[in-house]
Amino acid sequence: MTDAPSTPRAATIPDRPSIDGLEDTWSQVWREQGTYAFDRASAHERGRSSVFSIDTPPPTASGSLHMGHVFSYTHTDCMARYKRMAGFEVFYPIGWDDNGLPTEKRVQNYYGVRGDATLPYAPDFEPPHRGDAKSLKAADTMPISRQNFIELCDELTVKDEEAFESLFRRMGFSLDWDISYRTIDDHSRATAQQAFLRNLARGEAYQSEAPGLWDVTFQTAVAQAELEARDYPGAYHRVAFHGADGPIHIETTRPELIPAVVALIAHPDDERYAALFGTTVTSPLFGVEIPVVAHPAAEPDKGAGIAMCCTFGDLTDVLWWRELQLPTRSIITRSGRIQAEVPDWVAGGPGEALFADDVAGKTTFSAREAIVAALRESGDLDGEPKATQRKANFYERGEKPLEIVTSRQWYIRNGGRDRELNAEFIERGRQVEFHPAFMRARYENWVSGLNGDWLVSRQRFFGVPIPVWFPLDDAGDPVYDKPLVPCEDELPVDPAAQAPSGYDESQRGVPGGFVGDPDIMDTWATSSLTPQIAGRWRDDPELFADVFPMDVRPQGHDIIRTWLFSTMVRSHLEFDSVPWHNAALSGWILDPDRKKMSKSKGNVVTPEDVVKEHSADAVRYWAASGRLGADAAYDTGQMKVGRRLAIKVLNATKFALSFGEVEGNLAAAVTNPLDVAMLAELRDVVGKATAGFESWDHTRALETTETFFWTFCDDYLELVKDRAYGGQGDEAAASARAALRIALDVLLRLLAPFLPYVTEEVWSWWHEGSVHRAAWPTTDDVAVGAGGDPAVLTAVGEALAGVRKAKSEAKVGMRAEVASLVLAGPAEWVARVQLAETDLRAAGRITATPTYAEAETPEVRDAELIPVEKPKA
């Protein structure tokens, strides 16, 4: 809620105001005074409609922030500040996304360690490195226990978060730092585990032994939303399978998977292979009998038009395997190597020795070389391999192509295998306002293109444990269909370190005992619950009801498929509701080559030095100049403009307040036509700036306000200077001074969301309280005089510009007097200039009454100039 209207006091103006040091001064004041605190009692008393709640993106606490963070968080902060001034209780929490793979990678690079679940915990462990292990290869890092590794993750993320908080405070983000969380803290873990257990109880979460994408470097399963298609060098091999009527050639980039072939597949309309459908062939080298079948996903114009389906080379293999109900003959293990044992279907055949001696246990690269050599020797390789660039799936953070391995994983239903549920998620998306609106299509395209459920289990260390144990049968094998789960009031739990109810630790891993699920949740499985975590769904139902569904989710457009959609999934399944009413999507920051800035590309700019050089207000100005959904270039030139604007706010305010006080009612004192006209134009600015924020276009609000502010400084202040100093009498001076005070009061509030530091500084010169708790201006604040004509200030400003131009072209100083001139223009323009002729003459040093004439466009003619004589030396 905004404060009561601030009563202006006598101005106290520094002798030499400066924007330097404002961040340190005012960030400390805001912290001590709780300027941005969410007033929970007021919010509850006034009701949900009085709250503006923000599902703030929790930045990944691994390494350093970059300009992309500053860009997008500024957009959100401008809206938060506007809503706070508009009278809302703003729920603006901050979280840190500190679990998952990015943190583990940073810990490995920082300390030179890697987790090993087989090792015991070492009390008082001291890592071999601190900050200087990035050059080490993974194999050269020290293996340590799971718990020691987790402790180092906790230690480092806390350090990173302290640095992040310092920058966020310096940027002036109006977060409520008392509403904070970490995605790995007890509350977040308990919330994520409770949501998962409820998904499990309703049948929305399930486990399955199935083929899935696997990153051999990070040793973890990967979800569809985390894929990135990249070019990868390979070669086509033309290989002969053996049919009754001769060879059938296929072309493959992965000949090492010939032992895993389960079928040859062609398009049902491909006449070349129609006679083969329903027959079998034998595989080269291994002599395994293979069926030839039809499927519409086969591509007749690709390669030979017939492909081998192996389990599993790519996602198309998985599709064929599932839809054609083909057998599973998987040979690639989680390590990325071929299995060490000869498969049953190869054993006893012609290729048994080849597999055992040259393929088993090898990397896919070595196995490929061995099989290609054998194919060449057997004559089953037609010609030599032809180099190509093939598209391969990568984990978005990985460096090697993903493999597809069969493993037991946990999934949450997301409509990827259920058309009815898929349609429900499409409809949910239509209940959210996307800003900009075209971003909804990206959401719908992603949802409609899903081909599997959400894989939420990961084979890592630092994350939220899957809260499940499994009983062991008499042979010591897990009974997967009878999971043991904790009660909600026991959460959070760690099945790797705690026994389930009814068991003790001595029964872990023994027949008749239990085993804990070793996996953790995907980081998105926790991040998808940020409204529930920040709003305290688990333990504070009153607060949750006051802030949920939240008003806005601000985020990058590149994670619509992950964070936005996964949050929609959890809210739909748990609450039958959208998680927020608006989604505000920021664009990317581009480097000078118009490429996205990212840590992985090494082209990021860190904000700390930029903020110190240009000021936080200047950097915020650059960021706020970018519209939602639009990519923006990193532009220090724009920051320099922002710095000049901030300095101009200081100087213009000092100048405008220097004319002395105005007693009584300010609005009643404004009588001069130029003053009334200026406030009338400002009234339009207030309406447009407000409309900009209400339509989620903060840039429009900034542009409208800034344009008027420069006119106010360059034209109006110059025009009224003489009058404000008393050169035209007391009443005329009072009108100018009152208009200046009214305009400044409004302009500072209009600029406050964008330039929080400088506006707070100058506001403090003549107001009690914070400008950021003052009410957002309305048109009533500038409703003075008999309406006023906004075009008067424009017309007189054009006339003054014409006088200045004449002096400049004559190469005389601006203090030169104008003995005579003609002001020509349309009749309406002339009439408007005449209303403020006295101010124009004073500002332009025009000593005689101007002559007026009609013309199509405004211009100054026949100016007779009297240069100011320079004093003699």
Map 190-212 to HEC letters.
HHHHHHHHHHHHCCCEEEEEEEE
- Joined tokens for residue 428: 């949910």
Of the pLDDT bands very low, low, confident and very high (cuts 50, 70, 90), residue 62 is: low
Average pLDDT rounded to a whole number, residues 282-311? 94
Q: How far is CA 167 from CA 75, 106, 665, 833, in A?
A: 16, 20, 43, 50
Least confident of 482-491, 493-502, 561-570, 652-661: 652-661
pLDDT of residue 159: 82
Residue 79, pLDDT > 60, answer yes
pLDDT of residue 125: 92
Of the pLDDT bands very low, low, confident and very high (cuts 50, 70, 90), residue 678 is: very high
Distance between CA atoms of 256 and 367, rounded to whole angstroms?
6
pLDDT of residue 229: 82
| Sign of the torsion formed by the C-alpha atoms of 168, 173, 174 and 175 | negative
Average pLDDT rounded to a whole number, residues 718-732? 93
For the chain, how many residues are written? 873
Helix (H, G, I), strand (E, B) or coil at 408: strand
Q: Is 699 left (phi over 0), alpha (psi -120 to 50) or beta?
A: alpha
Q: What percent of the chain has pLDDT over 90?
A: 72
Distance between CA atoms of 680 and 593, rounded to whole angstroms?
44
Calculate the CA 811 to chain-centre distance. Answer: 53
Least confident of 220-224, 242-246, 662-666: 220-224
Residue 267 is which amino acid? H
Q: What distance separates the 2 farthest-apart alpha carbons in the chain?
A: 114
Sort 669 into a burial class: Cβ within 10 Å, 0-12 / 13-18 / 19+: buried
pLDDT of residue 3: 61
pLDDT of residue 601: 65
Measured in degrees and rounded to the nearest 5, phi and psi for residue 65 equal -75, 160
- Our CA dihedral for 843, 846, 847, 851, rounded to 10 degrees, sits at -140
Residue 507, pLDDT > 80, answer yes
pLDDT of residue 263: 97
Measured in degrees and rounded to the nearest 5, phi and psi for residue 571 equal -70, -40
pLDDT tens digit string along 355-385?
999 999 999 999 999 999 999 999 999 999 9
pLDDT of residue 228: 81
pLDDT of residue 366: 95
Q: What percent of the chain has pLDDT over 70?
A: 97
Average pLDDT rounded to a whole number, residues 691-719? 97
CB distance 85 to 774 below 8 Å? yes
CB distance 865 to 806 below 8 Å? yes
pLDDT tens digit string along 746-792?
999 999 999 999 999 999 999 999 999 999 999 999 887 666 888 99
pLDDT of residue 599: 62
Q: Kindly calculate the radius of gyration of the chain based on its CA atoms and give it in whole angstroms.
A: 35
pLDDT of residue 400: 83
Distance between CA atoms of 826 and 853, rounded to whole angstroms?
8
Residue 455: its H or E element: strand 454-455
Average pLDDT rounded to a whole number, residues 438-458? 92
pLDDT of residue 786: 61
Average pLDDT rounded to a whole number, residues 70-93? 97
pLDDT tens digit string along 8-44?
777 788 888 999 999 999 999 999 999 999 999 999 9
Of the pLDDT bands very low, low, confident and very high (cuts 50, 70, 90), residue 600 is: low
pLDDT tens digit string along 557-582?
989 999 999 999 999 999 999 999 99
Residue ranges in 346-463 assigned as alpha helix (H):
352-354, 364-378, 419-430, 439-448
pLDDT of residue 161: 84
Q: 601-605: long-range contacts at Cβ-Cβ below 8 A with a sequence spacing of 24 or more?
A: 604/66, 604/67, 604/68, 605/66, 605/67, 605/634
Average pLDDT rounded to a whole number, residues 84-104? 90
pLDDT of residue 1: 60
Residue 738, pLDDT > 80, answer yes
Of the pLDDT bands very low, low, confident and very high (cuts 50, 70, 90), residue 872 is: low
Distance between CA atoms of 492 and 465, rounded to whole angstroms?
9
